[in-house]
Amino acid sequence: MNEIAEIINGTLHSGIPVKITEYSIDSRTVVSPEHTLFFALTGSNHNGHDYISTLYANGMRAFVINEYREEFTTLTEANFIHVENVLVALQQLARHHRQQIITPVIGITGSNGKTIVKEWIYQLMSASNSLKIYRSPRSYNSQVGVPLSLLGIEHDTDYSIIEAGISRKGEMSRLEKMIQPTIGIFTHLGDAHDENFTSKEEKLAEKAKLFRSCKWVIGQAGETLEHIRSYLPSSVSFLLWGEDKNADVQTETLYISKGHRHVQVYYKGHVFTLEIPFSDLVSYENCMNAVCLLLWMSTPVDILAERVRHLSTIAMRMEIKDGINHCTLVNDYYNSDPSSFRMALNMLAIQDATKERVVILSDFMDTGMDKEELYTLVSQMLCVANISLFIGIGKQLCKYRHIFPDNSRFYEDTEHFLRQEERDNFNNQIILIKGARAFQFEYIAGFLQKQSHSTILEVDLDAMVHNLNHFRSLTDAHIAVMVKAFSYGSGSREIASLLQYHRVDYLMVAFADEGIELRAAGITIPIAVMNPEREAFDNMIMFNLEPEIYALDILEDFNRALNKHGIKRFPVHIKLNTGMNRSGFDEQDLPHLLEFFQTERSVYIRSMFSHLAGSDETMHDEFTLGQIHLFERMTERIQAQFNYKIWRHILNSAGIERFPQYHFDMVRLGIGLHGISATHANLQPVSSFKTYISSIRKVPEGQSIGYGRKSYTTRPSRIAVIPVGYADGLNRHLSNRVGNVFIKGKRVPIIGNICMDTCMIDVTDTNAAIGDEVEIFGKHILVSELSEQLGTIPYEILTGISHRVKRVYYKE
Ligand SMILES: *Cc1c(COP(=O)(O)O)cnc(C)c1O
């Protein structure tokens, strides 16, 4: 500890001696607490110092802090290193650790393709068993991710591959100081994060900083790399590839056949052909960047060509799907290695807390770790993650079965699993399916997946978190998220679990039943109910669901229910009417309300709030300000009668964006979480309504299509059927070329009247085939575009997707 304290310039308050082997910033994912050093980072909405006492109770004894709290004095065994800035300390430690590594470190940056290039380099290198290669887990490439990645490098590692991602100026210098790459790779300059840079040049200059002290830089020959060269000292050499005659590695695409691209390469007098098992340009770029690194390592070209032929796609997504017998499947086909396994366990941790957890795992491939040690670590992780059943597949796991709990099951390979397990062995569980590619766990996923019609609403959890963080960045107030109406159509349990994990302060539902469902799913954060019904009072009290009180008689009845249960200080939320004229106390009702509180009461006013009628439109701004001022007046009057602080809140999503001076104590986020902004903020679409082509028919010119014969073909046409109709939530007004869908990069019109379960689309102008994916709305056709077309609002479209449409969740 002394040494670490010295490296990070901190003051050590010593406790018991500890041996640190792990570093953590997230209190939820610690595997061996007694050997972990916890960095108490402080973000806009969470403070690592809040978790120290809990971590201590779990056995952790080493913490880096920037504020010493009274409560820490009771943690007598703990070691604290007190620093000025915890993030800086983490980065200093990583930098120091990096300096001890003498083998090459490869630093990758660029707007897109970093993770793929990293993984492909890994695939190409690890085909040689003699190398020990380390790479940053998933896309750990930020100011926090990079130091954690670096701290994972071991002293006998031969090559380390580290991703560096930035979103604003000044960040790359800090990353460069830590990574100090020996070789740099620049993947691709895209438009991501453009809003934080004044120009493309500025962004490029920032990215180039990663390469300042590199010996070599790899990239595609051309203008971008010339720009980068101009920012770097002449001590940096370049290895550039491209069709350009002056490229160091000259390439030429010979032909593309059966989805493979055949590329001729000229390098230092060698001529050889690569068969890249992908045809698209992006894969070509990514592959060539990886190939150049292997050339730089002097890999013999025939061996390299052989390995390139076997490159495989990188599944970056983790998918959550409904399984058989009320199971939930978490599929992760990303690499199998301990750090990505840990992340997958995290994903499992945020699912429905009431269900048992099952893990189906294959042998880890090429990790270079001692096997006994590796599987002991896995077994510990299972224990921490509260896994009730472990199923191991592969020869290694069979061999080390004694390390795992007694009820575990083991199979030599996937085929034996499928032959010996029955579907009914799985019931009401959350199942993580994680296997190395060679094990073909897709078959296990298929075996356990619920089979049904595959029109889906795909929910992008990363986009949702992005949107949440955007709103967080706008406010210091508490955040309540409205999860009424099945979370605006996206699903209640899954979304509430995600929000709880990301530590929002409140959830609000429309009816008590919705709240009870969330409690049953293991949601423990406060939940408010906007339409509390008297019949549900007992349940609300039992499940800790806090009512919105919009009239005196409700308050009296609720207070009576509390007295019956002998409960005191139950939180309620007082709704005030300031102009919406839907529900709530008017200003003239306040004397009665306050009179009610003159006697001792069982309820406790947690908050008082109101709702704006036109917060998204400038034309109503005067009215809105009037509402807010009335709200201030009414709440001051109420607050004056109480000796405890009552929270105030009035803003919905549009209000949060447009009236930053009125956030008060809490804000209520709704549609914004789903990517709809009143101010064109940089939000991401969350839900995609998708289906696939189930059949295609050739129809001659002049024929009518569908019911009522409303559309005719005007040329020989190809008409596709998609299994989605108005019963799924596809609005019938989109019939007859009003609406479009998106297939293979193109919009095509809906033709004929939309039927109950199906509709027809005109795919004449595309090469669409049966089985192709069709987007009804999502990332290409925005919900807001659709709602405008239909003369309604995005809320109605999102909440109108039928419950029979399966919700599928994913994250990168
Ligand atoms: C639905 C709702 C919100 C959220 O509104 P958005 O426009 O979706 O942000 C906020 N407050 C109340 C009372 C609501 O009913």
Q: Is the pLDDT of residue 192 over 60?
A: no
Q: For ligand 1, is residue 798 a contact (CB within 6 Å)?
A: no
* Strand ranges (E), 502-544: 506-509, 527-529
Burial zone of 278 (CB within 10 Å; 0-12 exposed, 13-18 middle, 19+ buried): middle
DSSP state of 641: T
265/274 Cα distance (integer angstroms): 7
756 annotated ligand-binding residue:
yes
What is the model's pLDDT at position 195?
66
Q: How confident is the model at residue 334 (pLDDT cuts 50, 70, 90)?
A: low
168 annotated ligand-binding residue:
no
Q: For ligand 1, is residue 673 a contact (CB within 6 Å)?
A: no
Q: For ligand 1, is residue 811 a contact (CB within 6 Å)?
A: no
What is the model's pLDDT at position 159?
94
Please state the rounded mean pLDDT for residues 141-155.
91
Mean pLDDT of all residues belonging to the chain:
92
Helix 461-474 × helix 493-501 angle, to 10°: 50
For residue 653, which atom of ligand 1 is closest to its CA?
9
Sign of torsion over alpha carbons 580, 630, 617, 775: negative
Please state the rounded mean pLDDT for residues 56-75.
93
Please state the rounded mean pLDDT for residues 625-630.
98
* Strand ranges (E), 88-180: 105-109, 133-135, 159-163
Q: Is the pLDDT of residue 190 over 80?
A: no
Q: Is the pLDDT of residue 273 over 60?
A: yes
Q: How confident is the model at residue 794 (pLDDT cuts 50, 70, 90)?
A: very high
Chain segment 4-26, per-residue pLDDT in tens: 999 999 999 999 999 998 899 88
How many of the other CB atoms lie within 10 Å of CB of 439? Answer: 22
Ligand 1 centroid vs 466 CA: distance in angstroms? 19
375 a catalytic residue: no
For residue 668, which atom of ligand 1 is closest to its CA?
10
Ligand 1 centroid vs 547 CA: distance in angstroms? 16
Q: Three-state SS for 677? A: coil
Q: Cβ distance 548 to 573 under 8 Å?
A: yes
What is the model's pLDDT at position 282?
84
Task: Pick 567 or 684 by higher pLDDT.
Answer: 684
Q: How confident is the model at residue 438 (pLDDT cuts 50, 70, 90)?
A: confident
Q: Three-state SS for 187? A: coil
Please state the rounded mean pLDDT for residues 576-592.
96
Helix 301-309 × helix 114-126 angle, to 10°: 120
What is the model's pLDDT at position 431?
95
How many of the other CB atoms lie within 10 Å of CB of 557? Answer: 14
Please state the rounded mean pLDDT for residues 414-429.
91
Q: How confident is the model at residue 505 (pLDDT cuts 50, 70, 90)?
A: very high
Which range is most confident: 374-388, 444-458, 702-716?
702-716
484 a catalytic residue: yes
Q: Three-state SS for 465? A: helix
Q: Identify the structural domains of the chain with CATH numbers, from first to last.
A: 2-87 (3.40.1390.10), 101-309 (3.40.1190.10), 318-418+433-447 (3.90.190.20), 459-674 (3.20.20.10), 687-811 (2.40.37.10)
pTM of the shown model: 0.71
Ligand 1 centroid vs 511 CA: distance in angstroms? 14
For residue 611, which atom of ligand 1 is closest to its CA?
13
Joined together, the tokens standing for residue 533 give 């019904």
Q: Is the pLDDT of residue 343 over 80?
A: no
φ and ψ at 427, to 5 degrees? Answer: -150, 125
- Going from the C-alpha of 522 to that of each of 486, 513, 518, the distances in angstroms are 16, 15, 7
Query: Which one of 511, 576, 611 would you pick to mutate in the ligand 1 pocket, going by the greatest count of ligand atoms within 8 A of its CB?
Result: 611
Ligand 1 centroid vs 576 CA: distance in angstroms? 15
Q: Three-state SS for 18? A: coil
Please state the rounded mean pLDDT for residues 283-309.
94
Nearest CA among 593, 606, 496, 590 for reference residue 548? 606
Cα dihedral: 146, 151, 155, 159 (round 10): -20
What is the model's pLDDT at position 30?
76
